[in-house]
Amino acid sequence: MSLDARVGIVLVSHSAALAEGAADLAAQISGGTVAIIPAGGTEDGGLGTSSARVTRAVKLADSGAGVLILPDLGSAVLTVRVLLSEPDDLPAPIELADAPFVEGVVAATVAAAGGADITAVRAAAEEARDVRKL
């Protein structure tokens, strides 16, 4: 791992627009120094999740410090879990966060931009469920 490597983030959503929008927002808040790769929708542009898209995104997101994956709902979680059950061709470390989608990616990306390791980046994402907006 190089000294400058940041944990990469992958957003897995049923909707390509949702994943791309959340990635844009998190990039702007965190200053644009972290790879945030959206993996939304199916290969034919519909709503759903695609294992192949997630695999490509994970490889793009990795810069040597590992990758944290944030899923939106339901089958996005299942798709990632199946992928991670055979992680031989994937970067390591690679982890799945149990976190709110928007708040989680913002918190994770800011932590990654600050140089946190994957354990701390995942913790930042998962703590997002306990932070009140109001």
Partner 1 sequence: MSANYEQAITLNGDLHARPAGALAVAAAQFSSAVSITAGASSANAKSVLAVMGLGATSGQQITVSADGPDAEEAVGAIVAILLEATRVGT
Contact residues for partner 1 (CB under 8 A)?
A: 25, 28-31, 103, 106-107, 110-111, 113-116, 124, 127-128, 131-134
Nearer to partner 1, 28 or 92 (CB): 28
- With tokens 């990306």, the residue in question is 109
Question: How many Å from the N-terminal Cα to the C-terminal Cα in the chain?
Answer: 39
| Annotation says 14 is catalytic | yes
What's 15's DSSP letter? -
Nearer to partner 1, 1 or 131 (CB): 131
3-state class (DSSP) for residue 115: coil
What minimum distance in Å lies between the beta carbon of 8 and partner 1? 16
Nearer to partner 1, 91 or 114 (CB): 114
Residue 2 half-sphere exposure toward CB, CA atoms < 13 A: 6
Q: Smallest Cα–Cα separation from 12: which of 96, 76, 90, 94?
A: 76
3-state class (DSSP) for residue 69: strand
Catalytic residue among 6, 14, 53, 122: 14
Check the CA dihedral 40-57-115-88 and report its sign. positive
Nearer to partner 1, 2 or 133 (CB): 133
What's 89's DSSP letter? G
What positions carry a catalytic annotation? 14
